Amino acid sequence: MLILSRRVREGLTIGDSMIVKVLGVQYGQVRFGIEAPPTINIVRNELLTKEQINRIYETIKTMNETKAMQK
């Protein structure tokens, strides 16, 4: 997991097609905007089941292991 610090109006780019920007911080909540192609599904984790979240983490783990083996 990559952990970054960003200030309001700062952002980051994921891959070639996604941008995440911090829009504001207020009362312990962070508001951010996500620019992504319509083919990318963006869902808040609390709306997913535990099984769906576990599947996502397993996919990421497998991708990272495959990438490490290719180096």
- Cα 8 to its chain centre, rounded Å, is 17
pTM score above 0.85? no
Report the SS3 class of residue 1.
Answer: coil
Beta partners for residue 19, in sequence order: 13, 35
Measure Cα distances from 38 to 4, 16, 23, 24 in Å: 25, 14, 21, 24
pLDDT in tens, the chain (71 residues): 789 999 999 999 999 999 999 999 999 999 999 999 999 989 888 898 989 989 888 998 898 888 888 87
